[in-house]
Structure 1
Amino acid sequence: MSESSPQTVPEVPIRRAASVLMLRENNGGFEVFIQHRVSTMDFAAGMVVYPGGRVDPKDSATAASGHLGETIISAHCKQWAGTAVWDEGEASAPQKAGEILAAALREVHEETGLSLEPGQLFPWANWVTPTGFPRRFDTYFFVAALAAGQEPAHQTTEAVRSHWAKPEELFAALERGELKMMRPTQRTLLDAMALGTIEQIASSRPVIKAVHPDPRDSHSSHPVRSTEISAPRS
């Protein structure tokens, strides 16, 4: 009787994605615009998330057009220094950074009806879905401080509702088991809360390193460990 060959786990492609923490002032603090994902989605089902989605081929054309602004893209490239934006070197980084920014702007418009200016979005974090998940994403998070009159709406079929929420109330509801948030959502929001104000958040300009989270912490707010962070690219 021959030995059975070990099962080969199919490799799941990692797709690039963008997600935006849209913020507005509220009684000395801030609120964040969130979506409650439909429970039947094949990724992040039933989770509280920010507007966003995958990088699309059309985003490549937007990035190559130059309409996003050379100065903005250059600044984003510096902040994405510890991510896959730089995997193919300095020459390719501006195009990749532009595609991610274009995807963020497009997804916000498609899901909320809001047209943000490229200069309103600032790189915030980069998380890569760990192995073992049926879908994997290399997700680039942005923060955006909304101006007076900029009001997002709920217009995506991927969520049952969208609304503004105070971060403290979200975490209280999470503690009570009334909602669910994946670790990247929790961590990016906690990091924003630690800075306190929208002005401090938007001006912080962190140099970002990719986080490859431990799947055992996928639904916790566990601080990012050094073993989960990619080494910075030279």
Structure 2
Amino acid sequence: MTIDPDGFPAPAALVEHARRFHAEGGVPAVPRVAATVLLLRPAGGRPERAVTDGADFEVYLIRRVAAMAFGGMYAFPGGGVDVSDSQAHVGWAGPAPAEWGARLGLAPAAAQAVVCAAAREVFEEAGVLLAGPDARTVVGDVSGDDWEAARVALERREVGFADLLAERGLTLRSDLLLPWSRWITPEFEPRRFDTYFFAALLPAGQLTRDVSGEADRTLWVRPADAGELTMLPPTLVTLGQVAACGDLAGVGAASATRDPATPVTPRLDLRPDGEARFVLR
């Protein structure tokens, strides 16, 4: 997958909305803090294969239902930080919240909330749980009826993420999340998000499940083969970045050198000839 240095074509509906926003002197909405996760696995759906074997890999995508914000677009599982994420007293493994804060450019409590939101959302939307009995293990299959009931209760906010983990004697494995980038929705959008992107390897023994009512299609696809799908710039650019890593070990190595604190905000360039493109500079 190649990234066009001149930007990305913008959907007509977004162009019309942007023109109206600027013509009316609109006031930008305050972005909501959010988190999203690129779930990765070796190609062929065999997460037990060695991460260092050089094999190509796939990423999990969902297509948002048309009625939602950014509906009809393919994206990664994710969503807004919830009040429960910032108040959670969760069992924790991996880098401490202060270390996450230094990496993400956030106060420790805010960083913990973002990491909790990432893990919670990927469980709610994909049925994948980044947690284990201790700091060295990960829970296995979580697709049974009891787990599904717990996931639905979490999605409905009938139970908090920290409580769900505590009831089952599990610890959040924050070390399974690899920080990648940060994107802020353009100013003309009525719903804006300040989103932290993470990558994570699908745990052995777990399977993604099409459980989110917010998606009408899900698929695993090689990042390099996803260019024909309808995506907004954050998804498209991120897929290009991970594709360039070559393999899963390369993704892990690249994460260690990335800047996940400085935000990228796509700008819509409305050109005199009527063409409109998203640009990142």
Structure-1-length-normalised TM-score? 0.78
Structure 1 counterpart of 2:219 = 163
2:259 to 207, 210, 213: 207
Residues 31, 72 of structure 1: CA spacing in aligned structure 2 closer, same or farther, 3 A cutoff?
farther
The alignment yields a C-alpha RMSD, in angstroms, of 2.3
Aligned length: 199
Structure 2 counterpart of 1:37 = 64
8 Å CA contact 1:37, 1:44 repeated in 2: yes
* Cα distance in structure 2, aligned partners of 1:169 and 1:8: 40
Superposed displacement of residue 61, structure 1: 1.7
Residues 164, 70 of structure 1: CA spacing in aligned structure 2 closer, same or farther, 3 A cutoff?
closer
Secondary structure of the 2:244 match is: helix
Residues 147, 113 of structure 1: CA spacing in aligned structure 2 closer, same or farther, 3 A cutoff?
closer
* Cα distance in structure 2, aligned partners of 1:203 and 1:61: 32
Question: Which stretch of the first structure deviates more once superposed, 181-190 or 114-123?
Answer: 114-123
2:77 pairs with 1:24: no
Structure 1 counterpart of 2:235 = 185
8 Å CA contact 1:72, 1:119 repeated in 2: no
Structure 1 residues 136-193: Cα deviation after superposition (integer angstroms, max 9, x where no partner): 100000000123212111101111021211122211xx2xxxx310000011111111
Superposed displacement of residue 194, structure 1: 1.2
2:163 pairs with 1:107: no
**Aligned pairs (5 A) from 1:132-147:** 132-147=188-203
1:49 to 53, 61, 75: 75
Instruction: Identify unmatched segments of 5+ residues in structure 2.
Output: 1-22, 45-54, 131-172, 271-275
Structure-2-length-normalised TM-score? 0.65
8 Å CA contact 1:18, 1:140 repeated in 2: yes
Residues 195, 74 of structure 1: CA spacing in aligned structure 2 closer, same or farther, 3 A cutoff?
farther
* Cα distance in structure 1, aligned partners of 2:81 and 2:178: 17
8 Å CA contact 1:182, 1:220 repeated in 2: no
* Cα distance in structure 2, aligned partners of 1:186 and 1:61: 33
Instruction: Identify unmatched segments of 5+ residues in structure 1.
Output: 1-5, 86-92, 226-234
* Cα distance in structure 2, aligned partners of 1:180 and 1:216: 19
- The alignment-based identity, stated in percent, is 35
Secondary structure of the 2:85 match is: helix
8 Å CA contact 1:34, 1:162 repeated in 2: yes
Tell me which amino acid in the other structure corresponds to 1:23. Answer: L
**Aligned pairs (5 A) from 1:64-75:** 65=89, 67-69=91-93, 71-75=95-99
Residues 7, 112 of structure 1: CA spacing in aligned structure 2 closer, same or farther, 3 A cutoff?
closer
* Cα distance in structure 2, aligned partners of 1:35 and 1:215: 25
8 Å CA contact 1:68, 1:98 repeated in 2: no
Tell me which amino acid in the other structure corresponds to 1:181. Answer: M
